[in-house]
């Protein structure tokens, strides 16, 4: 069991170590204009990496919000195990490091004239544009679910007020009243995220509202780390969590905020709290830039992260089509570094080389126990591919000490990734 964790750690380190091989040398004289839209895990990391590689370049990060609120670890906030203030990160360090950070919403991209227009009407010209805008929710894709109903049936799939709202609704729940969570079909941000959330809500109910129960209605039959989650749920929450698969009438076709009800093919079910995780797509600015395809996501070259639809625009993070790499902060952070290096190399007249990428997703199953999945990927064949025999899952039937050690690793990862992105 320990061997399995060691193997994953080694492979993660190898993938990050490979980055150094591709760092461009002596490119600090390049004077290009680079604009990055989206200051989350992908964009903030890309901006900081570019600043360290191309000190003379004109690099601007365009981010709508003055404070970033992290989705990773927000499920602990919902489960009343962490405060929302611990999720907040400012852009102060980026500004102190000399990066130009513009707090505006980008509202248009002209891929021919190579400009980005801000909400206040100002424009920025670019030689290379990096988009890391994350996801938007597909309002209306699930009947009855709109921006207005999300105030009653929170998604909490973008962290911030929605996270707090869901937590407050759980706090206000009477013991004995029930909770529903709906999970959309893939792809969506953070494949294991719904099941980590289910675990932490079930933990909250078990410890604070023991007569209440969570019903998870899923549009899928299988999910990330499924055997590990099912094992944890059987051990910790047999009375407090029921997961219903698509094959077992789990797909929700309609929600009704007035009646506090969700409908499947065969049943209408009421609950006092309903957490709707709706279908998603690349955030709107990607669509406006012309880098989304019919799926609503962004096809890219897996080595340079350049859009296959628009030249000189790179896309990273959740907005991309990068499967089997998941839409995770870990992936976005690594893609931010690799994309920054690719942009620096392209501006210096060199072609970026294929490399090895890794992702680790930790999930809490209780407030102090976690499980993880590691993937290792190649990008040299024109697409991302899982490296056979690499990566892995936490072991099944592991003693509590192993789960607790993984929870500490998760916490260390969060500290490291937020430090890399926000300083």
Binding site for ligand FAD (CB under 6 A): 37-43, 62-65, 68, 71-72, 74-75, 105-106, 132-134, 157, 189-190, 193, 197, 283, 285, 317-318, 327-330, 332, 361-362
Which residues, in sequence order, are bridge partners of residue 244? 217
Q: What is the Cα–Cα distance from 117 to 420, expressed in whole angstroms?
A: 28
- Read off the tokens for 416: 């490291």
Quickly count helices (H) and strands (E) in the chain.
10, 23
Residue nearer to ligand FAD on the CB measure, 37 or 173: 37
In which residue are the tokens 């690499």 written?
390
In which residue are the tokens 């969700």 written?
262
Shortest reach from residue 43's CB to ligand FAD, in Å: 5
Contact present, 178 and 215 (Cβ < 8 Å): yes
Handedness of CA 125, 130, 135, 141 (dihedral sign): positive
- Read off the tokens for 201: 């809500």
Residue nearer to ligand FAD on the CB measure, 189 or 281: 189
Q: What is the Cα–Cα distance from 181 to 192, expressed in whole angstroms?
A: 14
Shortest reach from residue 69's CB to ligand FAD, in Å: 8
Residue with CB nearest ligand FAD?
40
Residue nearer to ligand FAD on the CB measure, 79 or 193: 193
Q: What is the Cα–Cα distance from 241 to 268, expressed in whole angstroms?
A: 19
Residue nearer to ligand FAD on the CB measure, 335 or 345: 335
Shortest reach from residue 248's CB to ligand FAD, in Å: 24
Residue nearer to ligand FAD on the CB measure, 157 or 243: 157
Q: What is the Cα–Cα distance from 94 to 103, expressed in whole angstroms?
A: 13
Contact present, 350 and 220 (Cβ < 8 Å): no
Residue nearer to ligand FAD on the CB measure, 190 or 271: 190
Shortest reach from residue 387's CB to ligand FAD, in Å: 19
Shortest reach from residue 179's CB to ligand FAD, in Å: 16
Residue nearer to ligand FAD on the CB measure, 67 or 308: 67
The conformational region for residue 249 under phi > 0 = left, psi -120 to 50 = alpha, else beta, is left
Shortest reach from residue 31's CB to ligand FAD, in Å: 25
Contact present, 244 and 217 (Cβ < 8 Å): yes
DSSP string, 360-400: EEEEEEETTEEEEEEEEEE-TTSS-EEPTT--EEPPTT--H
Residue nearer to ligand FAD on the CB measure, 284 or 378: 284
Shortest reach from residue 415's CB to ligand FAD, in Å: 13
In which residue are the tokens 């099944």 written?
396
Shortest reach from residue 224's CB to ligand FAD, in Å: 11
Task: Return the H-helix or E-strand segment holding 118.
Answer: strand 115-118
Shortest reach from residue 83's CB to ligand FAD, in Å: 16
Residue nearer to ligand FAD on the CB measure, 42 or 391: 42
Task: Return the H-helix or E-strand segment holding 168.
Answer: helix 161-172
């Amino acid at each position: 069991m320990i061997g399995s964790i060691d193997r994953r750690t080694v492979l993660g380190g190898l993938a990050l170590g490979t980055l150094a091989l591709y760092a461009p040398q002596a490119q600090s004289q390049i004077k290009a204009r680079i604009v990055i839209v989206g200051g989350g895990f992908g964009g903030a990391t890309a901006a900081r990496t570019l600043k360290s590689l191309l000190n003379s370049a004109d690099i601007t990060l365009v981010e709508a919000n003055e404070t970033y609120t992290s989705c990773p670890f927000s499920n602990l906030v919902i489960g009343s195990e962490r405060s929302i203030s611990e999720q907040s990160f400012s852009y102060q360090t980026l500004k102190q490091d000399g990066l130009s950070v513009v707090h505006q919403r980008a509202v248009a991209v002209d891929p021919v004239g190579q400009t980005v227009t801000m909400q206040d009407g100002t424009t920025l010209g670019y030689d290379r544009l990096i988009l890391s805008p994350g996801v938007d929710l597909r309002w209306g894709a699930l009947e009855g679910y709109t921006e207005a109903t999300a105030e009653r049936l929170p998604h909490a799939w973008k962290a911030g007020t929605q996270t707090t709202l869901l937590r407050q609704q759980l706090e206000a729940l009477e013991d004995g009243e029930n909770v529903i969570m709906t999970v959309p079909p893939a792809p969506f941000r953070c494949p294991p995220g719904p099941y980590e959330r289910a675990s932490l809500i079930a933990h909250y109910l078990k410890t604070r509202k023991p007569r209440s129960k969570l019903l998870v209605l899923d549009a899928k039959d299988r999910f990330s780390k499924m055997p590990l989650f099912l094992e944890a749920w059987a051990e910790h929450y047999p009375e407090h969590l029921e997961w219903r698969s698509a094959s077992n009438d789990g797909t929700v076709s309609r929600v009704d905020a007035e009646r506090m009800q969700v409908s499947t093919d065969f049943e209408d079910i009421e609950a006092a709290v309903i957490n709707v995780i709706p279908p998603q797509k690349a955030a709107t600015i990607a669509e406006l830039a012309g880098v989304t395809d019919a799926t609503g996501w962004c096809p890219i070259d897996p080595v340079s992260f350049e859009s296959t639809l628009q030249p000189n625009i790179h896309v990273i993070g959740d907005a991309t089509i990068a499967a089997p790499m998941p839409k995770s902060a870990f992936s976005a952070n690594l893609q931010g570094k690799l994309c920054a290096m690719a942009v620096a190399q392209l501006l210096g007249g060199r072609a970026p080389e294929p490399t090895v990428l890794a992702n680790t997703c930790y999930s809490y199953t209780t407030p102090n126990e976690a499980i993880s999945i590691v993937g290792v990927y190649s990008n040299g064949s024109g697409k991302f591919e899982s490296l056979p025999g690499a990566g892995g899952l936490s072991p099944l039937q592991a003693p509590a000490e192993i789960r607790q050690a993984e929870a500490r690793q998760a916490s260390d990862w969060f500290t490291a990734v937020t430090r890399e992105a926000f300083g």
